Amino acid sequence: MNDFKALLESADQGHMPSTAYDTAWIARLGELDYDISNRALAWISEHQLADGSWGTSELYNYYDRVVCTLAAMIALTRRGRRAHDRIQIAKGLVALEKISSQADERMLIDPNGATVGFELIVPTLISEAEKLEIISHLGDRILGRLQAKRAKKLSAMGGAKINRHISAAFSAEMAGTDMLEVLDLKNLKEVNGSVGHSPSATAYLAQNVQADPALMQYLRKVITPDGGAPNVAPFDVFERGWVLWNLALAGNHSPEITAQCQPQLDFLEKAWQPGQGIGWAAGYTPKDGDDTGLVCEVLARFGRPVDFEALFSYEQEKWFRCFAHEANPSVSANIHILGALRHAGFAADHPAVRKILSFLRETRNASGYWEDKWHVSPYYASAHVVVACAGYAPEPVKPTVDWLLKTQRADGSWGFYMPTAEETAYSMQALCTWRSHAEEAVREPLKRGAAWLQDHREPPYPALWIGKCLYSPELVVRSAISSALEMENHWG
């Protein structure tokens, strides 16, 4: 439990490595703040990948590579002055041509895997890149056809404007320079000066509307010493919630650990809005079903009061929603609300529980696992379904347990694209929870998983979480790894 002591001490504003997408937006600031702009530009120059693209280096993700590469090329074109910058732009163009040639129709309709706001943000970047003569008109290609999709979505708003109360503010740069009228500029900023706690959206507003002191102060605060910027900042509720959830799953807390949890639990209770729940940060205006379900379960596990009115405010006809006006439901939001209902004492035959279980049966694929729009790995959602259902409503997850056992790699690890500590931790958490409720032959797989995980527990971790690009919440992953090893020590 020593690692959890350190995690609880560290959990604060949110720990996340920099992303190329958000850093590129800050690199464009220029005369608005040459210091942070130049530092960000240097970061972009230093982080081009071997194939000429930008994005997460550990795995190839079409959406991540497209949005990061376009943003980086635009930043270098607008601010770059060296011959080396022109070479990097040329390499980026070759990479982008190759990436876009691999696109297909499925990428326009598949709700899972796409980065946040992809179909609205990419057309604005393409339009800007064409004006800068970085790329030529894309015509009927998939990327080109996104222009029409963006126009249709924005026109469908029917005069409604984007303000800080709706999640779309996080992707305010979707408005580009041609649709600024969709932004409610007087009510867009959060108290901390940001637009949706997003460095990229905040930098966009500073460049295209007004660089007021609050916006610039936020950007100066979030940029890292090496010039990079994270996908979101702060995310203090998200980080604390997951560290506490993983700790609760590990069990066997000492009085010292329990005492150390209390200020973090107090923070979550203070951030909670009665009847509405909570968002990923205390100062973030929109609340969502995923963080509300997670934090509700954490509070219940630690004996704190639970606000059922807030939890049920996300209930829809056939599932629980994550955000208002969402295009497709989130599997993980329903899983975490299910966990909250379970630990708040709701019986497995309660109508709300049955509704979620029915939704999970319908969304599980033929192989026995689930995919979710907030994470590129099916191990994330699938493992959490097992944790929520084992010993409570186990029927939907029996095929999932079989899938977990079948997909363990020869070296003891798990990973959908490659072996990762994060996915191995999730799989072990699921199997340990399953074993605690059922006598099944999972001991040997757990031992092999623990041996591999012990050797691969340290960061950096691959970016598997989906925002406007892929990102990795470092303390969240570390806490899952520590939890899995503690659980295996007890149940393995």
Condensed to tens digits (0 to 9), the pLDDT of residues 199-227 reads 999 999 999 998 999 999 999 999 999 99
In the predicted model, what is the mean pLDDT of residues 432-448? 90
DSSP 190-245: -TTS-BTTBHHHHHHHHHHT---HHHHHHHHHHS-TTS---SSS--HHHHHHHHHH
For position 109, what pLDDT does the model report?
52
For position 113, what pLDDT does the model report?
76
**Residue 170 CB: number of other CB atoms within 10 A?**
27
| Least confident interval from 27-36, 59-68, 155-164 | 155-164
Higher pLDDT, 150 or 170: 170
Q: Is the pLDDT of residue 326 over 90?
A: no
Q: Are 224 and 39 in contact (CB under 8 A)?
A: no
Q: How far apart are CA 301 and CA 343, in angstroms?
A: 6
Q: Are 277 and 232 in contact (CB under 8 A)?
A: no
Percent of the chain with pLDDT over 90: 85
- Cα separations (Å) of 256 from 1, 4, 66, 483? 10, 11, 47, 17
Per-residue confidence band for 411, with pLDDT thresholds at 50, 70 and 90? very high
Q: How far apart are CA 223 and CA 220, in angstroms?
A: 6
What residue spans of 47-141 are helical by DSSP H?
Answer: 62-79, 83-101, 106-109, 118-131
For position 439, what pLDDT does the model report?
65
For position 155, what pLDDT does the model report?
75
Q: Is the pLDDT of residue 463 over 80?
A: yes
Per-residue confidence band for 324, with pLDDT thresholds at 50, 70 and 90? confident
Contacts of 172 (CB under 8 A, 6+ apart): 162, 183, 188, 195, 196, 198, 201, 204, 205
Per-residue confidence band for 135, with pLDDT thresholds at 50, 70 and 90? confident
Q: Are 175 and 150 in contact (CB under 8 A)?
A: no
In the numeric block, the tokens 């500590």 are attached to 421
Q: Are 423 and 472 in contact (CB under 8 A)?
A: no
For position 150, what pLDDT does the model report?
84
For position 306, what pLDDT does the model report?
94
For position 52, what pLDDT does the model report?
98
For position 137, what pLDDT does the model report?
66
Per-residue confidence band for 252, with pLDDT thresholds at 50, 70 and 90? confident
Per-residue tokens: 461: 């971790």
Q: Is the pLDDT of residue 460 over 80?
A: yes
Per-residue confidence band for 67, with pLDDT thresholds at 50, 70 and 90? very high
SS3 404: helix
Q: Using N-to-C axis directions, what is the helix angle for 142-155 and 118-131, rounded to 10°?
A: 120
Q: How far apart are CA 367 and CA 131, in angstroms?
A: 46
**Sequence ranges of the chain with CATH classification 1.50.10.20:** 235-491
- Which class would CATH give 20-222? mainly alpha
For position 112, what pLDDT does the model report?
61
Per-residue tokens: 149: 């999709």
Distance of alpha carbon 413 from the chain centroid: 23
365-407 per-position pLDDT tens digit: 999 999 999 999 999 999 999 999 999 999 999 999 999 999 9
The dotted CATH code for 235-491 is 1.50.10.20
For position 384, what pLDDT does the model report?
99
pTM strictly above 0.85: yes
Higher pLDDT, 432 or 2: 432
For position 102, what pLDDT does the model report?
76
For position 39, what pLDDT does the model report?
98
Per-residue confidence band for 159, with pLDDT thresholds at 50, 70 and 90? confident
For position 141, what pLDDT does the model report?
63
For position 283, what pLDDT does the model report?
97
SS3 411: coil
Contacts of 50 (CB under 8 A, 6+ apart): none
For position 104, what pLDDT does the model report?
66
91-102 per-position pLDDT tens digit: 999 999 888 887
Contacts of 309 (CB under 8 A, 6+ apart): 274, 275
**Sequence ranges of the chain with CATH classification 1.50.10.160:** 20-222
Q: How far apart are CA 282 and CA 12, in angstroms?
A: 11
For position 142, what pLDDT does the model report?
59
CA dihedral (59, 62, 66, 69) in degrees, to 10, reads 20
Q: Is the pLDDT of residue 110 over 60?
A: no
Q: Name the burial class of residue 137, with classes exposed (0-12), middle (13-18) and buried (19+) by CB atoms within 10 angstroms of its CB.
A: exposed
Q: Are 319 and 103 in contact (CB under 8 A)?
A: no
| Least confident interval from 106-110, 187-191, 451-455 | 106-110
Average pLDDT over the chain, rounded to whole?
94
SS3 117: coil
In the predicted model, what is the mean pLDDT of residues 439-449? 89
Q: Is the pLDDT of residue 140 over 60?
A: no
For position 55, what pLDDT does the model report?
98
291-316 per-position pLDDT tens digit: 999 999 999 999 999 999 999 999 99
